Structure 1
Amino acid sequence: MHQPSTTPRPSLYHRYQVHAPWLPSAHPPQPRHRVVIAGAGPAGLVTALELARHGVPSVVLNAELQVSAGSRAIVFTRRTLEILQQVGVAGRLMAQGLPWRCGNSFYRGQRVFRMEAPHDDDDRFGPMLNIQQQFLEEALIDACAATGLVDLRWGNLLTQVDQQPDHACLTIDTPEGPYTLQADWLVAADGGRSAIRSQLGLKMEGASFESLFVIADIRIDLPYPTERLAFFDPDWNRGNTILMHREPHGIWRVDYQLPPGETPEQALQPDSMRTRIDAQLAMIGHAGTPWEMDWCSVYAARTLTLPDYRVGRVLFAGDAAHLLPIFGVRGANTAFQDAQALGWQLACVLRGTAGPALLASYSAERVGAAREIIHEAGKSTRFMAPPSRGFRLLRDAVLSLSLTQDFVRPLYHWRTSRPHAYLQSALNCRDDDDSCFDGGPGHGAPPQNVRLGDDDFLLDHIGAGFHLLVFTTAPLPAGVQKVVQAARQQGVPLRVLAIGAAQPVAGADAHLPDAAGRVRQRYAVPADGAAYLLRPDQHVCARWLRLDADRLQAALATALPA
């Protein structure tokens, strides 16, 4: 029998709640479920919330009785916050977290590079927000409970998956013994050590780097703003790299690279950690400042992905699908984009508005995103932790030159996580006017937010489903209205927004004034009658200089393959 710990996890700043286990004896015989999600971390919970936004219920299995141990992921990007706004938790996180936008790199006691992430008045959220993963998970769990469509089962460990042509048979262990479930689809969001991935015998593609890093969360009072601090080749850890991040509740994250040959067991010895953290504090001028350890772990930098995120009736997301280095805050932030994409596409298949071919697009798009990230992250990883003598010579040359030469300093840039543009997606319309626009978000691109007024932004008005943004003050053509109504009758969630109209427009569900022309400018709209079609994950799948019924019908058919 599975016996998860019933003792609250230790923490200096977070009070862990131990939940009661879901026991099969307390429930009637289980029906076949449409979706079962293995894993209640960020990827699993956001997938459940995305499904719920489209009216699809799910069962979420959490092997533990409490949220994750330690801070884990702590840096969340603007695009992540836009996704979390859609599922209703961004405001809560913004109230608790620490926003920031700058990163600093130091060598030989000198700041040699300062990165400032872009931010302008059209962005509701800042570039990055620091908050510990426990608080994120709790917000997502509360949001799941509020939907009434997410059955979160604490203390339930998935132990066996048997795939059938049209469903999966699952064996789940609990504190009182196992039971079985049937699911039309199983979402594997069970983390970097995915038991589902192992059971199915799946191999990941890519590279694993030999360098190991210690993560240490300490409580300490330091007089620094919320900015990333990176220290290269310090005297106390020659040839290696140290990162520092401020977290809420008086916690600082210290990541330091281990010398070759040191094992995780050796690295996590209390005396070893105290000596190294004391040395880091002394180096930044705070020797003797008292501190307490909250949580620690060891990680290795990996750039790995499965080649296909759909395997029979199993769909992979998050770390179960790919393992990405934390440099550039890519891990959890990529998982949110997986979950958002998977949620709407799986919902459309289950609601019958698209065929299973849509899930092949989920895999192709997200595998493509992972490979793009691996390409970018590999550059950062090789600079932070050179994997060979040649890369170390190159990195050391950059370090040395950066003390006096400006031209090499941008090589310190850590290539922050960014949303993937699905340029080659099969869901992009093939006969629209994408190539005729002089700017704006094109095929597969994420949306651009626009400030409409005080505390009012364009993405505040983009909810679940497809959105047709029509730049007009005139009634929509009768043929376009007919296509919209026909799509809705077939179950396609489609909302029409008239952009630039000061009063209601016939055929539009809502109108958004744009007196200053900010939306028109950001979307490079040259004249009235232009339109954008956004997928349920807000990415652009079609745009036209002038919308007509036939091309709207073609775009919807392409985005929702039979």
Structure 2
Amino acid sequence: MNKEFKPYPFTAKQYKARVPELKQGVDAKRHAVTIVGGGPVGLAVALGLANHGVPSVLIEADDSVCYGSRAICISRRSLEIIERLGAVEGFLKTGLPWTGGRSFYRDTEVLHFTMPQDENQKLPPMVNLAQYHIEQFLLDAAEKRADLIDIRWQTRVKAIDARDDGATLQLTTADGDYALDTDWVVACDGGRSTIREALGLQLQGTSYEGRYVIVDIELDSERPTERLAYFDPSSNPGSTVLVHKQPDNVWRIDYQLRDGEDAEQAVKPENVMPRVQSLLDMMGEKGAWAPIWITIYKANALTLERYRHNRVMFAGDAAHLVPIFGVRGANSGIDDADNIAWKLAFVVKGLASPALLDSYSDERVAATHENLSYGTKSTEFMAPPSFAFDLMRRAVLSLAVRHPAVRSLINPRQTSAITYAQSPLNVADADAFVAGPVPGAVLSEYPVTIAEGGQAREAHLTDLVSPRFTALCFSDEGDVPAGLTELAETMRERGVPFRIVPLSARLHPETNGVHAWDHTGRLFERYDAKPGTVYLVRPDGHVLGRWRNARAAEIEAAITRALS
């Protein structure tokens, strides 16, 4: 075994700072949107804005994508978003898909869980790939949109002057300092956010004392990809170990430190490597391995009270810190990006009132509280914060060995799509529906055949989500409710992106525009739809409203209300 740290199989390119044309130390151009932080969330915001034709400047302090696995699990919902951003190919080609995992108490398996997966889905419930891959694939997509995304590497924010009409950022680079004026700022600069600190804002919530050492190792193994959790294992008695397989023969190992262990000593290679070797021996892994990266982690359940502060918006870890258990951190940040991108784009283009951005805060703060609720429960089980929690955990694990009914208490509650049930944008159901996504929920996935321009292809319902409002009109003959064609023309004249998609029980390739066919015969029933039913979908794939017998005036009112 090589005891020297090895480089990652993946090597990041290095990027240089770019200083723009200056006038007396100020960027000569005032920018519409400036994004601070070039991690997954910042890149996703930039790509989302670009999909709407809105340019942005992205400020990144580093000179490359990150090192270390960091975020490693990307959910189906995040993959849907990333597909719309034009970057999913690398995720699916490189990432390792998985559908479940196993938990062990000492040497006994006490849980085998699976995540929802059926023939209706086109994407896996989860894929494993390290954050450096995540950032690189998003960056590759951003570089293809260089006309709209101006990435400035090795550039740090020193200060911000936030005003009612925008903000001025004081930036520093190796080649000199300069100021940048912008209409809007999106702070995606992580858990130690410079922007958050400069505005005097503080995260609220709970920080847990339990600490985990995180180790990336290189190991060639045929073991399948799944989440592995070991409670009170022989390799780390009295604590917990998590194991995830990643691409490139990289394995991520998280193990809990016992009470009283010194964190500084715990991350030294001479103390880490014997524990890793003991774990691999316990797992039956006999191959040679080498360490790559070591760090330490402490769970936090923290959030800002609001994510909009006039012209400054917060997203990702700058807005909230979510425990890693249940993999909600990066996935919730990508959801933030998806939500803010279309709303900010509509505001920048003059299609919506700035009040629309308050709904970003309302929806995503509520989502964070939901994520924190699940994450806190998982954290209290994975790393008990007190003797009482530890006693409860030992009791549950002991009972689970012989009583399967108890095993659900061990379930890690993996992240899933959030429903904005209390969103101020939702149109309350006026008609009774017994199935289908409620207002605020994301579309439930189903296969469809999409016909456009005389060509038909097998696809999925989420393929119809795009940077616009979409009216899914259920019909027998591929027709649309009276007045909707005229409404589409009205929206076009207003500049509001809007599309009507007839969704019928049989294919009508002669229909003008885009037409979808429920070729499985399942969609109408699962959406409780009849001819005349309309589901109005937001640009981020969440249902805005639904009607049993839709009238054009109701749909127009729903869109107008959302944008006012």
Q: Please classify the TM superposition score into its range, dividing by the shorter chain length.
A: over 0.9
Q: 1:76 aligns with which of 74, 77, 83?
A: 74
Query: Shift of the alpha carbon at 1:477?
Result: 4.2
* Residues 498 and 505, structure 1, Cα contact 8 Å, conserved in 2: no
Q: What does residue 114 of structure 1 align with?
A: 112
Please name the residue that 2:548 is paired with: 545
CA RMSD of aligned residues (A): 1.8
Whether the 8 Å CA contact 2:70–2:131 is kept in 1: the answer is: yes
Structure 1 residue 191 corresponds to structure 2 residue 190: yes
Where do 5+ consecutive residues of structure 2 fail to align?
Answer: 450-456
The one-letter code matched in structure 1 to 2:539 is P
Residue 442 (structure 1) aligned with residue 438 (structure 2): yes
> Could you tell me how far apart the structure 2 residues matched to 1:332 and 1:455 are?
31
The alignment partner of 1:236 has SS state of coil
Q: CA deviation at 1:458?
A: 1.6
Deviation at 1:406, TM superposition (A): 1.2
Alpha-carbon distance, 1:92 to partner: 1.9
Letter in 2 for 1:228: R
Q: CA deviation at 1:455?
A: 5.3
Superposed counterparts of 1:169-318, under 5 Å: 169-286=168-285, 289-318=287-316
Aligned-partner residue type, residue 514 of structure 2: A
Partner of 1:104: 102
- Counterpart for residue 534 of structure 1: 537
In structure 1, distance between residues paired with 2:129 and 2:519: 37
| Post-superposition offset of 1:243 | 0.3
CA distance in 2 between partners of 1:250 and 1:64 (Å): 26
Residue of 523, 526, 533 corresponding to 1:519 = 523
CA distance in structure 2 between the partners assigned to 1:18 and 1:515 by the alignment: 48
Aligned partner of 1:359 in structure 2 is 357
Find the aligned partners of 2:115 and 2:480 in 1 and give their Cα distance. 40
Offset, 1:505 = 7.6
Deviation, 1:24, is 4.0
Using the alignment, how far apart are the partners of 1:140 and 1:173 within structure 2? 25
- More displaced stretch, 409-418 vs 136-145: 136-145
- Matched letter for residue 268 of structure 1: V
Q: Which moved more, 1:475-484 or 1:487-496?
A: 475-484
Amino acid across the alignment from 2:464: H
**Whole-Å separation in 2 of the counterparts to 1:140 and 1:455:** 26
Deviations 1:427-484 (A, max 9, x none): 0114x43x51111101100111111258521212322111100012254345222222
Task: Tell me the equivalent position of 2:559.
Answer: 556
Structure 2 CA distance for aligned equivalents of residues 26 and 95 of structure 1: 42
| Distance in 2 (alpha carbons) for counterparts of 1:204 and 1:263 | 26
SS of residue paired to 2:413: coil
Of 456, 468, 473, the match for 1:470: 473
Question: Are 1:474 and 1:505, in contact at CA under 8 Å, matched by a contact in 2?
Answer: no
Contact kept? 1:451, 1:457, Cα under 8 Å: yes
Aligned residue type for 1:345: K
8 A contact 2:21–2:27 mirrored in 1: no
Aligned to 1:60: 58
Partners of 2:315 and 2:337 within 8 A in 1: yes
| Aligned counterparts of 2:561 and 2:447: Cα–Cα separation in 1 | 31
Instruction: State which drifts further: 32-41 or 199-208.
Output: 199-208
- Residue 490 of structure 2 is aligned to residue 492 of structure 1: no
Tell me the distance in 2 between the aligned counterparts of 1:419 and 1:409. Answer: 24
Q: Can you list the C-alpha shifts for 1:490-542, whole angstroms capped at 9, x where unaligned?
A: 11100110001522687x631112243232123221x2010000000010010
Match of residue 3 from structure 1: none
Change over 3 Å in CA distance of 1:455–1:249 after alignment to 2? farther
**CA distance in 2 between partners of 1:326 and 1:77 (Å):** 13
- Supply the distance in 2 between the matched residues of 1:391 and 1:46 (Cα, whole angstroms): 38
Name 2:371's counterpart in structure 1.
Answer: 373
Q: Which residue of the partner structure matches residue 418 of structure 2?
A: 420
**Is 1:482–2:481 an aligned residue pair?**
no
Partners of 1:450 and 1:522 within 8 A in 2: no
- Taking structure 1 as the reference length, what is the TM-score of the superposition? 0.94
Query: Is the counterpart of residue 460 in structure 1 residue 467 in structure 2?
Result: no
Q: Is residue 2:8 matched to residue 1:12?
A: yes
1:28-70: per-residue Cα shift (whole Å, max 9, x none)?
9421100000001011000011111111000001111110111
The amino acid that maps onto 1:512 is A
1:509 paired with 2:513, answer yes
**TM-score, with structure 2 as normaliser:** 0.94
CA contact (8 A) 1:207 1:303 kept: yes
Maintained 8 Å contact 1:217/1:253 = yes
- 1:199-257 deviation digits (Å, cap 9, x = unpaired): 11111121111001111010112331001110001233222100000001111111000
**Aligned equivalents of 2:90 and 2:357: distance in 1?**
32
SS in 1 for 2:144: helix
Q: Is the 8 A contact 2:301 2:323 kept in 1?
A: yes
State the percentage of identical aligned residues. 43
C-alpha separation in 2, matches of 1:444 and 1:478? 26
Q: CA deviation at 1:19?
A: 1.2
Q: Could you say what secondary structure the match of 1:440 adopts? A: coil
Kept after mapping to 2: 8 A contact 1:122/1:450: yes
2:124 alignment partner in structure 1: 126
- 1:182-210 deviations in whole A, cap 9, x for unaligned? 11010000011111111111111211110
- Separation of aligned partners in 2, 1:504 and 1:104: 47
Give 1:72 shift: 1.2
> Is 1:23–1:175's contact at 8 Å kept on the other side of the alignment?
no
Partner of 1:331: 329
| Shift in CA distance, 349/263, structure 1 to aligned 2, threshold 3 Å | farther
Answer whether contact 1:495 1:509 (CA < 8 A) is retained: no
Unaligned runs of 5+ in 1: 1-8
Counterparts of 1:18-167 in structure 2, within 5 Å, are: 18-24=14-20, 29-147=27-145, 148-167=147-166
Give the letter aligned to residue 549 of structure 1. A
